[in-house]
Structure 1
Amino acid sequence: MCGIAGVIHADPQKPVDPMNLVAMAAIQHHRGPDGFGYKVQDDRGVGFSHARLTIIDLDENRGRQPFLSDDGNLMLAVNGELYDYKRIRTDLTSRGAKFRTKSDSEMVLHLYRGQGLEDMLPQLRGEFAIALYDRQRDRLMLIRDRFGVKPLYWTEVNGSVVFGSELKVLFAHPDVPRRFESRGLYHQLMQTMVPGSTAFEGIHQVKPGHVVTIERRHGKFQIRDDRYWDMDFPLLSERGEEKDEGFYIEGIREKLMEAVQLRLEADVPVACYLSGGIDSCITLGLSAAHQQSAVKAFTIGFDNADYDETAIAQEMARSVGADQDIMRLDASHLYDNLVETLWHAERTIYNTLGVAKLLMSRHVNRAGYRVVVTGEGSDELFAGYPSFRRDMFLHGLDTLSPAERASWEQLLAESNQLFKGAMLAENELHDPALDALVGFTPSCLQPWLASAAHAPGLMAVHHRDAVRGYEPGRAIAEALDGDMIEGRHPLDKAQYVWIKTMLEGQILTWGGDRVDMANSMEARPPFLDHHLADLAVHLPPSMRIKGRTEKYVLREAMKGLLPKVLYEREKFAFMAPPAHTDPKKWAAMKALADQYLSDQAIQDAGLLDPAGVKALFALHEDPETSASTQVQLDAVINHMIGVQVLHSHFVAQDIPALARRRAEALGWRV
């Protein structure tokens, strides 16, 4: 795990300033504190830099990137891990490839040179963001892993393309503007981003499972965005007759065990994150079985009993003989660390879980670990979230008897109460564009589309005017591939939309990579292994949600591994308590609001409307406002504070100058 950066000019004779590359590496020192490297091809106007976190091949000099191929034709920088690399290296060596390092990353050079891009991509297994320059074809390829575990941003400005692992890496380049875009601001205030977009003008993400190819022709760029993989659920007409349950159970067991085993490969110790959910408990149990020794397990404990899962996590740790380390958090501490978290998240967050995860990654790093196995992705593959049950009930169970329908309604009312206003909307909402694309408005988007009603009134007048008539639901719908939705089962549709919006834009960013790598922590999610995913899409809906049981096939596949209380437990989303549920946390939030949402702070940033901000707080504190609406408004308040903090971090602050000062302090020089 590392950080990458680079520049390519449309004019190949224009030299790349190496100091910019060094500064872009230095601003992401947290991603790669073990050293840096850069390479420039002056006669081609191309340069890469790399901040290194050593996980595989600990030799400081041998594994240093960027890599150049022996013939000088290819230049490579990689962030992430590529699994099953030893087998691939052995195969490549047998065909004459000569490796200079023991790293997993170097094999990309040999795969591309021998097989080309199209045949190389299916062999890349893991979490990665890759920059690869082909001198002969004069093209730069930016490649992102299938689910978007690793971030990768790019922008075209002043005749150059600038790219990097984080927004601040691009902002460290003096030519890149740092301005909020009105629609991006709108989506920050409502939580859900349009896939591939950011809050900032001209800054794009490489989409998960995509390659952005930049070629030069006569001093101009030709930029192409191609998808190489997607979550391809079968058409209903292709599903055919279901196989015996044992077929699916054994298949999932085999693929998951393989995915976990591959993610234990490292030249440093590997630990596990452990909550009270079955996902992290499964990864811990399988890790313990593979290692056949005590695994270090790290758990977050909250001081709010409704959200704390420590007791169940302790039971799982005892059952596999894990060495458990519990970090207990006081509610007020979360807002004390929100500003730092937003520097790393680079987007607003609706729940302070992201802060808790940042504090946890720091705790784990200080305990001497830099790699953890995590449970992210299980709910996406096996339909674990409350929103999936709701969509399954409303749109996928047309043949229910009155008694069965009453049982489902009772289940949803009981199990979803805690998440209303956050993971579930208080009232069902229909967006015309999403209804037209999907056949219904997926429940996962409904709370945020409900929040969108507040956004225009919170925005400064010029931003509000710029989004007049804008439909956020339509923008999200237009960014989704209708061919991957049409003709699928309603549960498939709901999962696909979640994966393209909530997973990439939330769980894997401010709940994953960004707050883990803030403390040089590499998180490995085996559930997001694409071999496992390719099998999971073929599971019948009844193997994902069976009666009252979500993630049915996974529970059955891991039944012998889980304690009875976990095997029988319903899904509980891992969240931090909302601010209004705790007086100390509410006071801490208000203290931040006094600082960042004062009339003067709002005027200085030019993003929000002070009258709109005051009106939203008044609505929150109105005795007539329901608890579910308060949860929703808690999220909006977090977003309001968040955009103001982001402005102070990335617009008001001189990031290029900060990056150069950091490079100087680190001793990273040209």
Structure 2
Amino acid sequence: MCGIIGFVNPEIDDKKTAINKMMDTIKHRGPNSSGEYTNDEVALGFRRLSIIDLTGGMQPIYNEDHSRAITFNGEIYNYQEIREELIQAGHVFTTKSDTEVLLHGYEEYGMDGLLQKVRGMFGFMIWDDNIKTLFGARDFFGIKPLYYYQDGQELIVGSEIKSFLAYPGFVKELNMTAVKPYLMNQYNDLNETFFKGVHKFPAGNWFSFKDGQMDINQYWDASYVENSLSFEETVERIQDSIEESVALHNIADVPVGSFLSEGIDSSYVTSVLKPEKVFSIGFDDRTFDEVKNARDLAKLKNFEFYEDRVSGAEAFRDFPEMQYHMDEPDANPSVVPLWYLTKLARKHVTVALSGEGADELFAGYVNYGMHTHSSVIKVFTAGLKKLPKGIKGKLARGVRKLSDFHGKVNFYTNLAEPSEYFVGQSVIYDMNYPTVFTAKDANDILQPTYRNKLTTNLLYKKDFVKVKDADAVKQMQYIDLHHFLVNDILQKADKISMAHSLELRVPYLDRKVAELANSIPTSYLMNSHDTKYALREASKSVLPASWSNRPKLGFPVPVKEWLHDEQYYKQIRELFAEPFVNDIFDQEKVLQLLDDNYHGDGSKRRQVWTVFTFLTWYKLYFVDYENTVKKYQRIQPEVEELQEQGLLVNT
């Protein structure tokens, strides 16, 4: 696990100085060591967190005649079997690392052939000096981030956007178009980032860059063709698949621990892994407490349990640093507990397993159709799905016009096409589909130059077309896989864990697990019993039924309570009142939004938190960036302490 950065630009003479300055911005991703490769055209930089082949895996790594070089961020879990194939084919290895497998694999199979073989999480670049071409790829799901900026013959590629800002002559400019989609989703759902010209490289794709031409090629995507397995066979296949994936994700030359909450996703992975150490986080507000149940499971399983609690004062003190590491604003409140969970885990292990991806693959979100607890309504509305499409459409429009009644949302979503109503994980409760902000409400609080016609449904339009023949649940799973998961969940998982120099691994997001999950009949995944039903049944092989049947909670965070606390309200109001705010927002309206939420029932808390997050981030990157870098461009104190104690291996 590392950080990579590279650029192609023949006009920069002192590439070594430039690439090292860029590497300094991401030293938190690789506190062990650094390395670079430069020639007249290209520079590749690398910061290393040592996980596999501690003494021999230093990058860049070269082929036998040094005509090709690679920098790599991530892990290839099946690298050992591919390595044996390559040795049999005549390749000579100088290390035992998975990085060198990618390089020789490119030579033997080409980019597309290599990527059809690997299992893992990755972002990597290969410079082939024989054909003067830069190649690169991002993993299947986008677990590892990869960004790029192209201006004619010039290209920058890297793990974090902040390293681009140190590139000679890079002009930092806010992408004004991204503000409104962010307000509607709590994260940026555009391909172009908040930094003008900097794009997210798409998951499941690889690129080649030669003579100013960037070619992007897709090598993997989710597809949905239901298998004919029985429910019992399906449960057994899930069990086998999860066990194999967890075993692969346990390959490391350093200690591997696990995150543990009271939910099924992390509990299942942890119980299969059987780690020595597990970690959980809670809040001083005991209303939001997953620690007790996690502690009980750890005791039952004889795991060494570590816990910590977070106060509001700590959260607000550290929140700017969290948003600095995110690169782009992310108002998902779970950023907060994740920050302290990774901080806690890093004191004890270098690698931790987590449960991201289970909901998207195994249908765990209630807004896929579980909008009521009434079994009668569930059964009746499930039958509506069998009606002809035209009749369902007419009924859906009729139901939508009716006054609110118990079960209305469930009736409507079982009749209408997902492309008409689904707005991802930003949805809240009622028939008007209120998001963090609706498109109209977002435009209403923005200054005219930041307004546009984008809606959440419009952002999803192209992806809905790709899965138009799949059933409604699988359509929604596909949307979340390509939006919420990759642009929110996985971004914060990577950025926050790597801020603490911790490698976070996600066994559910393995291509073999995904291919199985995508073939499971929807009736096994979501039915009148529960969401994620088949996975829950599979988890009973290692979990008590009381854990397998627990409802999904996510990372509960006491935002409502914080925004009703006078000290935090005043702190946020001070930020909302700063002069720069009026350049972007109608300042009177956002102040009124804050005041109404504080004096009211707290129902506007998501909107307040989303604006607060954006302004915190904007101030860091566009108002006071020089001081931001001085304060936050660092290796975390707990990691420095490990270095001082000689517990962080330097290679």
The answer to whether the 8 A contact 1:158-1:175 is kept is no
Aligned to 1:597: 576
Displacement of 1:298: 0.5
Cα gap change, 1:661/1:52 in structure 2, threshold over 3 Å: closer, same or farther?
A: closer
The answer to whether the 8 A contact 1:188-1:643 is kept is no
Displacement of 1:370: 1.1
SS of structure 2 residue aligned to 1:508? helix
Percent identity of paired positions between Structure 1 and Structure 2: 27
Structure 1 segment 290-329 matched on structure 2, within 5 A: 295-329=276-310
Structure 1 segment 238-257 matched on structure 2, within 5 A: 239=226, 242-257=228-243
Aligned to 1:7: 7
Pairwise CA RMSD of aligned residues? 3.2
- CA deviations on 1:21-49 (whole Å, 9 max, x unpaired) are 0011111000000010001122xx11101
Picking from 433, 451, 467, the partner of 1:467 is: 451
Aligned to 2:459: 476
Asked whether 1:401 is paired with 2:380, we answer yes
The answer to whether the 8 A contact 1:172-1:655 is kept is no
Asked whether 1:485 is paired with 2:473, we answer no
Structure 1 segment 94-493 matched on structure 2, within 5 A: 94-157=88-151, 159-190=153-184, 191-216=186-211, 221-234=212-225, 239=226, 242-288=228-274, 295-367=276-348, 369-390=349-370, 400-401=379-380, 438-446=419-427, 447-448=434-435, 450-459=437-446, 461=447, 464-468=448-452, 470-473=453-456, 475-478=458-461, 480-493=462-475
Measured in 2, the distance between the counterparts of 1:23 and 1:660 equals 13
Cα gap change, 1:437/1:376 in structure 2, threshold over 3 Å: closer, same or farther?
A: closer
Displacement of 1:85: 1.1
Measured in 2, the distance between the counterparts of 1:391 and 1:94 equals 55
Q: Which amino acid aligns with 1:150?
A: K
Displacement of 1:20: 0.9
Aligned to 2:50: 54
Picking from 642, 647, 651, the partner of 2:622 is: 647
Displacement of 1:487: 0.7
Asked whether 1:79 is paired with 2:58, we answer no
The answer to whether the 8 A contact 2:54-2:253 is kept is yes
Stretches of structure 1 that go unaligned for 5 or more consecutive residues are 289-293, 406-425, 430-434
- CA deviations on 1:6-33 (whole Å, 9 max, x unpaired) are 1102xx5764521110011111000000
The answer to whether the 8 A contact 2:423-2:435 is kept is no
Cα gap change, 1:209/1:391 in structure 2, threshold over 3 Å: closer, same or farther?
A: farther
TM-score by length of 2: 0.86
Higher mean C-alpha deviation, range 535-544 or range 309-318: 309-318
Displacement of 1:649: 5.7
The answer to whether the 8 A contact 2:2-2:74 is kept is yes
Q: Which amino acid aligns with 2:459?
A: I
The answer to whether the 8 A contact 1:344-1:514 is kept is yes
Asked whether 1:88 is paired with 2:115, we answer no
Aligned to 2:596: 619
Cα gap change, 1:659/1:86 in structure 2, threshold over 3 Å: closer, same or farther?
A: same
The answer to whether the 8 A contact 2:259-2:352 is kept is yes
The answer to whether the 8 A contact 1:179-1:201 is kept is yes
Higher mean C-alpha deviation, range 187-196 or range 144-153: 187-196
Aligned to 1:25: 23
Aligned to 1:416: none
Aligned to 1:418: none
Cα gap change, 1:232/1:79 in structure 2, threshold over 3 Å: closer, same or farther?
A: same
Asked whether 1:494 is paired with 2:481, we answer no
Measured in 1, the distance between the counterparts of 2:418 and 2:267 equals 36
SS of structure 2 residue aligned to 1:162? strand
SS of structure 2 residue aligned to 1:208? coil
Cα gap change, 1:66/1:551 in structure 2, threshold over 3 Å: closer, same or farther?
A: same
The answer to whether the 8 A contact 1:83-1:126 is kept is yes
The answer to whether the 8 A contact 1:74-1:135 is kept is yes
Asked whether 1:546 is paired with 2:533, we answer no
- CA deviations on 1:616-662 (whole Å, 9 max, x unpaired) are 22332453xx5444444443433344433443465x66969998999
Measured in 1, the distance between the counterparts of 2:11 and 2:613 equals 47
Displacement of 1:548: 2.9
Measured in 2, the distance between the counterparts of 1:252 and 1:452 equals 40
Displacement of 1:581: 5.5
Aligned to 1:413: none
Stretches of structure 2 that go unaligned for 5 or more consecutive residues are 385-406, 411-415, 428-433, 644-651
Q: Which amino acid aligns with 2:203?
A: P
Measured in 1, the distance between the counterparts of 2:459 and 2:409 equals 18
Picking from 15, 36, 39, the partner of 1:38 is: 36
Q: Which amino acid aligns with 1:497?
A: I
Aligned to 2:568: 588
Q: Which amino acid aligns with 1:267?
A: D
Q: Which amino acid aligns with 2:241?
A: K
Measured in 1, the distance between the counterparts of 2:256 and 2:39 equals 37
Cα gap change, 1:484/1:403 in structure 2, threshold over 3 Å: closer, same or farther?
A: closer
